[in-house]
Amino acid sequence: NLLTLLALALVVGVLVDDAIVEVENIVRHLHMGKTPIQAATEAADEIGLAVIATTFTLIAVFLPTAFMGGVPGKFFEPFGITAAISVFFSLVVARMLTPMMAAYFLKAPKEHKVEDGWIMRHYMATMKWCLHHRFITLVLAICFFIGSVMLLPLLPRGFIPAGDDGRTTVTLELQPGSTLEETQVLAERARLMLEPIEEIERILTLVGYEAGEEGPFGGGGGTDARKATMTVVLSHRTDRERTQQMLENQIRQILAGLPGARIKVGSGGGGEKLQITLASDDAHALNTSVLAVEKDLRTLQNVGNVVSNASLQRPEIHIVPNFARAADLGISTQVLASTVQIATAGDFESRLPKLNLPQRQIPVRVRLDRDVRTDLDAIRQLRVPGSRGEVALESVADIYISSGPAQIQRYDRQRNVNIDVELGSRELGDVLAEADQLPSLQSLPQNVERPAAGDAENMQELFSSFGLAMLVGVMFIYVVLVMLFHDFLQPITILMALPLSLGGAFVALLLTHNSLSMPSVIGLIMLMGIVTKNSILLVE
């Protein structure tokens, strides 16, 4: 899959490295006048322990990542295992196959003097200066490390960067009670508003359908007459100057003038939105908190739409039985419920007759006419049979017009609402940090909880799991180095290179305007392995 291929691509250089070290040492022995077989044998024996140690330090870096927890662990498990196994087999090849091939294919080179290039000359001059000014070098190293740590808060953070696959999704949601025809008219109006954008190649509109989390073709959606999903296909990213995120911002601005609809823009992939979840058993407190949080989130700068899945209120006819009055009139709860069912949804039990056709039977649903079902006075006068004769429904129940949620969302048996903040061109970590400081989120009622959810939860799991995996990796590296050098202090010399190497990575992320996210973490893992390997070879 994507992660195993990524692991193989990243370790290609590391796989060749062991063989390069072996061959370079064999060539050095050939310069001493030894035969190829003698040179291969002695050279392989000379650096054998160092090559084995460097390989196992790489395995110590990669393998712990395969045991990270949460959603990031599902990504890193195939990556860590693939990288660790690949590195191990590079050791097998370098230790067994490379010396054998070198013994039979390498010839003693002709004597010729190779002069150092300008890079090597400058490096040697710098190294000599450092050796003669050890205290200044140490102070500079400490300052560099402190500067690296100070750069960390400046780095934007995220889980997975938003991609540019040339396709985005626009979801329209009308008020409850809207008809399919009204949804179609509004969707067509939105399509015409987007047509002037040059980078849009075509638009596919599905009316009466709500796309799932993976887009209109990813499954998980459902039919709903008041919803429409528009798939906007963009030109290839090499054929346009603006990124997908820039075009999505323009789409939001254009459709902001579309009345009577909730609008969401984005394909639903990682790095596109910040999800804030509120949960409570108290529906009123939950709705009040959601409205306050939504209002505050809309004050954030340079973000897209703020949309919640809190169900819109729809008109309802509430029928509240008076059980004491019904009992006096000899009307059972079952009869009362059956009357209300016929008046609204209709009676479609299996015992009712069916319409017989040549090939099948069609169930017959018995219910009142549409006009009568919406007439409050007609419903009040429905006849309910009892032991003392028929009475009007209003005699045994309170009947009135009210409103209620079109849909109730639950998670862990609690009512919950997800609020999505479209990130636009901003990073997840920056928007999350600002959102956490909003008054409505800092002063939530005691009966309203804020469970971790979405990319924000995954991002927190990523950095906590990565820190633990690297701590375990460093401990394994230290054990390997103690076994190599038979000393407890010498490995610290090598491990000192690890924190000093991070500064270059942080500077590179700042200069290239990239966030500290999962791809960056993979790069840091590679960096730690390579730095340790180079240090071991140099010290050995």
Contact, 519 vs 158, CB < 8 A? no
The one-letter code for the residue type at 401 is I
Which residues in the chain are classed under CATH 1.20.1640.10? 2-115+458-494+517-539
Q: Cβ neighbours of residue 231 under 8 Å, at least 6 residues apart?
A: 167, 168, 169, 203, 204, 205, 206, 215, 216, 217
Count Cβ atoms within 10 A of the Cβ of residue 274 and give its class: 0-12 exposed, 13-18 middle, 19 or more buried.
buried
User: At residue 160, does pLDDT exceed 80?
Assistant: no
Which tokens belong to 151? Answer: 């750069």
Q: Given this model, what pLDDT does residue 488 score?
A: 86
* Contact between residue 26 and residue 99 where contact means Cβ atoms under 8 Å apart: yes
- Span(s) in the chain for CATH 3.30.2090.10: 314-405
54-68, 70-84, 154-168, 517-531, range with the lowest pLDDT? 154-168
CA–CA gap between residue 520 and residue 65 (Å, rounded): 14
The domain 167-310+413-455 having CATH identifier 3.10.310.40: the answer here is no
Alpha-helical runs (H) found in 321-453: 323-328, 333-343, 370-373, 376-380, 428-436, 439-442
Residue 347 CB coordination number (10 Å): 15
Supply 217's token pair. Answer: 């073709």
Rounded to whole angstroms, the Cα distance separating 116 from 402 reads: 87
Mean pLDDT for the stretch of residues 423-431:
79
Local confidence band at 248 (pLDDT 50, 70, 90 cut-offs): confident
Q: How far apart are CA 500 and CA 149, in angstroms?
A: 10
Q: Given the DSSP bridges, would you call strands 391-392 and 222-234 parallel, antiparallel or unpaired?
A: unpaired
Superfamily of domain 2-115+458-494+517-539: Multidrug efflux transporter AcrB transmembrane domain (1.20.1640.10)
pLDDT at 128: 93
Q: Is 15 in contact with 59 (CB distance < 8 Å)?
A: no
The CATH number of 314-405 is which of 3.60.110.10, 3.30.2090.10, 3.20.20.140, 3.40.50.740? 3.30.2090.10
The secondary structure of residue 302, as a DSSP letter, is T
| Top-confidence residue, 92 or 454 | 92
| 374-388 pLDDT per residue, tens | 788 888 888 888 888
DSSP assignment of 51-103: HHHHHHHHHHHHGGGGG--HHHHHHHHHHHHHHHHHHHHHHHIIIIIHHHHHH
| Rounded Cα distance, 318 and 404, in Å | 10
Contacts of 341 (CB under 8 A, 6+ apart): 347
106 three-state secondary structure: coil
Structure tokens given for 190: 């939105």
Could you give the residue range(s) of every CATH 3.30.70.1430 domain in the chain?
Answer: 167-310+413-455
Q: How far is CA 60 from CA 181, 206, 485, in A?
A: 62, 51, 17
Q: What is the pTM of this model?
A: 0.66
Q: Which residue has the tokens 């840091």?
A: 524
- Measured CA to CA, the distance from residue 47 to residue 99 in angstroms comes to 12
Nearest to 266 by CA among 344, 353, 162, 160: 162
* 159 phi/psi in degrees, rounded to 5: -105, -65
CB 32 within 8 A of CB 40: no
Mean pLDDT in residue range 2-15: 84
Question: At residue 153, what are phi and psi to the nearest 5 degrees?
Answer: -65, -20
- The answer to whether 267 and 168 have CB atoms below 8 angstroms apart is yes
Nearest to 421 by CA among 319, 218, 272: 272
Strands 383-384 and 414-422: unpaired
Map tokens 């009892």 to a residue.
386
In sequence order, what are the beta bridge partners of 209? 223
* Whether the predicted pLDDT of 329 surpasses 90: no
Q: What is the pLDDT of residue 112?
A: 60
**Nearest-angstrom CA–CA distance, 227 and 173:** 5
Q: What number of CA atoms fall less than 13 Å from residue 179's CA on the CB side?
A: 3
207 pairs with which residues across the strands? 228
Nearest to 167 by CA among 135, 203, 195: 203
**Integer Rg of the chain from CA:** 34
Q: What is the DSSP letter of 239?
A: G
Q: What are phi and psi of 7, to 5 degrees?
A: -60, -45
- Residue 311, pLDDT score: 62
> What's the pLDDT tens digit per position in 179-218?
888 899 999 999 999 888 888 889 999 998 766 555 554 5
Residue 136 has pLDDT above 90, yes or no: yes
In this predicted model, what pLDDT tens digit does every residue of 342-380 receive, in sequence order?
Answer: 777 777 666 777 888 888 888 887 778 878 877 888 888
- Cα dist. 197→165, 172, 247, 272, 516 in Å? 17, 19, 9, 21, 33
Residue 470's pLDDT is: 83
The yes-or-no verdict on residue 45 having pLDDT over 80 is yes
Q: Can you tell me whether residue 304 is helix, strand or coil? A: coil
More confident position, 219 or 258:
258
| Residue 132: band (very low, low, confident or very high) from pLDDT cuts 50, 70, 90 | very high
The mean pLDDT value for 233-249 works out to 85
- How far apart are the C-alpha atoms of 61 and 472, rounded to whole Å? 8
Contacts of 36 (CB under 8 A, 6+ apart): 26, 30, 102, 103, 104, 106, 107, 108
Q: Model confidence over 257-313: pLDDT tens digits?
A: 788 888 888 776 666 788 888 888 888 888 888 888 888 888 888 888 888 877 667
